């Protein structure tokens, strides 16, 4: 009578599967060039045999739990850092800055309109003021896309959160 076989423990005594790009692409149902890009993006290096381990291919195609956990942890740390900077008044929302500046320029506009001078002079001052504020905001750190030179001065600038000082 023969002895019953002992159950094998997972991963013990098994040969590691190594894949060529061609075979892996066919097996995982993707384009070979796409797999090659995914592997190079993830900085996977082929072994001496020119093949890749299954874990490398799976991580390149589907991501890895460790990488996603690290990404999540970094995002959480960034969020906490931003909240701390806001509390210390090192970070302000650009929409708050725009709202503040808008109030200043409305008051300044009213003062210009109340000046005892010709309407043409008032119009020139207001036009200069509008151009000055547009140019300064566009070139400032809160101005968004500094490449948008042809943007209309009356269009709204994107709201964002930016560093102060």
Residue 159 has pLDDT above 50, yes or no: no
The number of angstroms, rounded, from the C-alpha of 23 to the middle of its chain's C-alpha atoms is 35
Give the integer Cα–Cα distance in Å for 46 and 49.
7
Please name the residues in contact with 157: beta carbons below 8 A apart, sequence gap of 6 or more: 94, 98, 137, 138, 142, 143, 144
12 confidence band (pLDDT: 50, 70, 90): low
Q: What per-residue confidence (pLDDT) applies to 73?
A: 94
pLDDT tens digit sequence for 46-82: 989 999 999 889 888 888 788 788 889 999 999 999 9
Taking every pair of Cα atoms in the chain, the longest distance, rounded to a whole number of angstroms, is: 118
Give the integer Cα–Cα distance in Å for 62 and 108.
57
Residue 42 has pLDDT above 80, yes or no: no
Secondary element (H or E) of residue 19:
strand 18-19
Q: Which class for 93: exposed (0-12), middle (13-18), buried (19 or more C-beta within 10 A)? A: middle
Lowest-confidence segment of 59-63, 81-85, 87-91, 128-132 by average pLDDT: 128-132
Mean residue pLDDT of the chain comes to: 79
Length of the chain: 165
Q: What per-residue confidence (pLDDT) applies to 89?
A: 86
Phi, psi of 43 (to 5 degrees): 60, 30
| 3-state DSSP percent of the chain in helix, strand and coil, to 5 | 55, 5, 40
Greater confidence (24 vs 8) lies with 24
Lowest-confidence segment of 5-9, 126-130, 152-156 by average pLDDT: 152-156
84 confidence band (pLDDT: 50, 70, 90): very high
Q: What per-residue confidence (pLDDT) applies to 33?
A: 93
Q: What per-residue confidence (pLDDT) applies to 102?
A: 85
């Amino acid at each position: 009578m023969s002895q019953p076989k002992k159950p094998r423990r997972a991963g013990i005594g098994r040969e590691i599967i190594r894949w060529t790009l061609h075979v892996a692409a066919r097996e995982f149902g993707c384009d070979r060039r796409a797999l090659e890009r995914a592997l190079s993006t993830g900085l996977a290096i082929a072994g001496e045999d020119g093949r890749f381990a299954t874990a490398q291919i799976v991580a390149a195609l589907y991501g890895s739990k460790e990488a996603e956990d690290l990404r999540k942890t970094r995002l959480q740390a960034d969020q906490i850092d931003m909240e701390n900077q806001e509390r210390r008044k090192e970070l302000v929302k650009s929409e708050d800055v725009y709202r503040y500046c808008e109030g200043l320029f409305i008051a300044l506009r009213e003062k210009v309109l109340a000046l005892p001078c010709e309407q043409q002079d008032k119009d020139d001052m207001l036009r200069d003021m509008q151009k000055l504020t547009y140019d300064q905001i566009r070139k400032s750190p809160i101005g968004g896309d500094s490449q948008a030179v042809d943007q209309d001065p009356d269009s709204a600038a994107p709201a964002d959160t930016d560093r102060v000082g």
